[in-house]
Amino acid sequence: MFKRWKLLLGLLLGLVIVLFGVAMLDPFFRQLVFGPKYDGIPLVTWQKFFREWDVIEAHPEKPSFLDNVHEAVLMKPSPTQWARLSGEDRRAILLTLVHGKEIVRMHVAHHLRDVPASPEVIAQLGRYAQDDAARVRQYAGMSLAKFAAEAPEAVVPTLVGLIETSDAPGRLVALQVLSRMKSLPQEAVSPIIVATNDRDAQVQAAANSALWKLGPDAIPALVKLRSHESAAARRTAEKALSQIDPVQFPPK
């Protein structure tokens, strides 16, 4: 009985050795086990990240893979490694990646919310709010909303500019951010009112929602909306008026 178990264990060990030897024929696995490491992660793993996310192709002017390590960390975030960088360093890295492929732009728009605000960051998020990719616009809006809650004076001019000059997706992002703010600055009133007559239905709805934040300043525009050709716009106007001044405009 003991000899039989000994034989089985020997066969199992031999199989493991053979499989290990076959695996070592592959340069990737050989380097994975015996190759150099950076921050405890094999060099070939970092290089695999670069290939997956086209970081090297996006930045051919950077000859050394080590120059791109934190770009890979950004794409496949490791909390311990990304956290080692200061907010200013993370911001600098992110702002060098803004023109990558869609997945890179999406990650940059997402991570920009976690760096110190600056005019460059807000301006880049404003450009991302007009991106062709919906996911990039979505994350840009979320990051802009975070900065708007912390420092509205730094973000509102960009949002107003988007409403006045961008295409429908950019206007929609700006209005959605404004509608989430606790209070709206006076310079946003006129652009929001103009947007209630936007040709895009989604932009119209977002502008109507933002009007609720304006309080009494929005009453003249909301009164006009009650005769709008769109039933949805009329309902929005009635609801907003009843919330702003329920005595003058009682709920129906």
Q: Domains of the chain: which residue ranges?
A: 106-180, 188-252
Amino acid at 240: A
Residue 59, pLDDT score: 44
Record: fold of 188-252: Leucine-rich Repeat Variant (1.25.10)
Residue 80, pLDDT score: 53
Q: Do residues 145 and 177 touch, judged by C-beta distance below 8 A?
A: yes
Record: fold of 106-180: Leucine-rich Repeat Variant (1.25.10)
Higher pLDDT, 145 or 241: 145
DSSP annotation of 117: -
Residue 119, pLDDT score: 93
Q: Mean pLDDT highest for which of 4-13, 34-43, 119-128, 207-216? A: 119-128
pTM attached to this predicted model: 0.62
Q: In sequence order, which ranges of 76-214 are alpha helices (DSSP H)?
A: 79-82, 87-95, 102-111, 119-128, 134-150, 152-165, 168-180, 189-195, 201-211
237 pLDDT more than 90: no
One fold for 106-180 and 188-252: yes
Q: How many of the other CB atoms lie within 10 Å of CB of 50? A: 19
What does the buried/exposed string (b/e) look like for 231-241 if buried means 16 or more CB atoms within 10 Å of the residue's CB? Answer: eebeebbbbbb
44 pLDDT more than 50: yes
Give the pLDDT mean for 132-149.
93
Q: Do residues 147 and 110 touch, judged by C-beta distance below 8 A?
A: no
pLDDT tens sequence across 50-107: 444 444 444 444 334 434 444 544 555 455 555 666 788 778 777 877 777 787 788 8
Nearest to 109 by CA among 147, 57, 82, 64: 147
For the record, the structure tokens of 22 come out as 């076959």
Residue 176, pLDDT score: 92
DSSP annotation of 39: T
Higher pLDDT, 223 or 78: 223
